[in-house]
Structure 1
Amino acid sequence: MIAHTRLQREKGQASPLYIFVVASLLFLALAFFAVGQAGATRNGAQSAADAAALAAAREQRDAFDLTIDDLGDLVDGVLVPPTDGCAASHRFAGQNGADVDACDRLSDGRWGSTVSVTSQKPVGDTILPGTDTLKAKATATAIVVPRCSFEPAEDEGGPSPGSLDCEGDVIDLDPTALPDLSDLFEVRLAED
């Protein structure tokens, strides 16, 4: 009889524990969702910054007016053109859902740009307070690097001022028909 009375008193004791566990799991799921939303917003802003920096560096490369006198210094990294590509960075950031906060030509001897952006849309309404107006920020740097090396001609009075070695392909330069800058230089993201 004692065992039977004891079972009746303990009946229903698991319900509050069960409710607590389910509520805790639901809160954790919502918190993970909020973190995921914030991560997705941050990744979107980083993609916009990457695209904007690449566009700015590409515009810098394409806007440079190449002459045969500048070619050797340009390929060797001695000459860094003073152009900026910020118009393109604003366009590409906007297409990727972000606004450009800053666009600067690199001043450390490299040819390229650094772009900082802020996402246009906030993280959103979540269980975490303050995220409904919080926007993601990101920065990216893109550089213009040579694909070729320049070898001046041994005879300065010859028909060609030199040759370019582009990943194993040697091209004798014709001063009247210089290669396109997109063939000589690539644009890529920098690691900084």
Structure 2
Amino acid sequence: MRLGLKQDKGQAFPIYVVVVAGLLFAAFAFFAVGMASATRSTAQGAADAAALAAATDARDHLKPGLSLGLLKREDWEKLLKGELLDLEGACGAASAFAGENHASLQSCSVVLPRFEASVKTDKAVGESVVPGTSTMHGTADAAAVIEPRCRLGDDPVDPGDGDDPPPGDDEDDDEPKPFDLKCKGGDVTFDPLNPDPWRELAKLLFSVRLVD
């Protein structure tokens, strides 16, 4: 009987080793999955930041040479659609923000009102029991849009005798008049003779947000 008991113990030990080894492998595999998930999260955060940075940079810059005080009504209609924004620095801003989030910009495209960015993380997932993770980098895509928040009002703020045309329509005006911009959340009065800095005005005229 004692001999049989020793034999049973000897047979059980290899099974125990196999079970423990399997549990350890599963634990390391779950750890690898967690590392991969964290890398993916880093990539998505970097892509979101890059897309938002591209759209924000475009919103904050007008095409070179534009003077807000000299714009005619038709120019304001284009401006409020985003057509007079300067897009040249958008992808540069996207690249800079991707770098700040530990990733590199792989591609960037701008077709108003949409800004798209693709990134790859600087660091790989790392060594693990899962083959290939040492060279596996996180990748992600994101897109942001610029959305107009305002439109031109129908009349100047100071219409005088009531016969004055909307801003920019009267070529004989010696001095441009302030006028209203009808915006979500409330009207904005723009004074061509004393314009706010464009970056401040742009925040009122346009919103920037991520999209699918």
| TM, length-normalised to structure 2 | 0.74
Amino acid at match of 1:83: L
CA contact (8 A) 1:81 1:111 kept: no
Matched, 1:174 2:191: yes
Q: CA deviation at 1:82?
A: 5.4
Give the equivalent residue in structure 1 for 2:148.
146
Matched, 1:137 2:139: yes
Distance 1:63 1:157 in 2: 25
Distance 1:9 1:128 in 2: 37
Amino acid at match of 2:122: Q
CA contact (8 A) 1:153 1:161 kept: no
Give the equivalent residue in structure 1 for 2:62.
64
SS in 2 for 1:121: strand
Distance 1:30 1:157 in 2: 70
Alignment match of 1:156 (pick from 165, 174, 181): 165
> Structure 1 residues 98, 163: CA separation in 2 closer, same or farther (over 3 Å shift)?
same
CA contact (8 A) 1:141 1:189 kept: yes
Distance 2:77 2:154 in 1: 8
Give the equivalent residue in structure 2 for 1:39.
37
Cα RMSD (Å) of the superposition?
2.7
Amino acid at match of 1:113: F
Question: Structure 1: which 5+ residue stretches go unaligned?
Answer: none
Amino acid at match of 2:210: L
Question: Structure 2: which 5+ residue stretches go unaligned?
Answer: 157-163, 168-175
Q: What number of residue pairs does the alignment pair up? A: 185
> Structure 1 residues 168, 62: CA separation in 2 closer, same or farther (over 3 Å shift)?
closer
CA contact (8 A) 1:148 1:167 kept: yes
Q: CA deviation at 1:33?
A: 0.9
> Structure 1 residues 105, 132: CA separation in 2 closer, same or farther (over 3 Å shift)?
same
Q: CA deviation at 1:103?
A: 1.6
> Structure 1 residues 98, 11: CA separation in 2 closer, same or farther (over 3 Å shift)?
closer
Amino acid at match of 2:30: F
Distance 2:76 2:207 in 1: 15
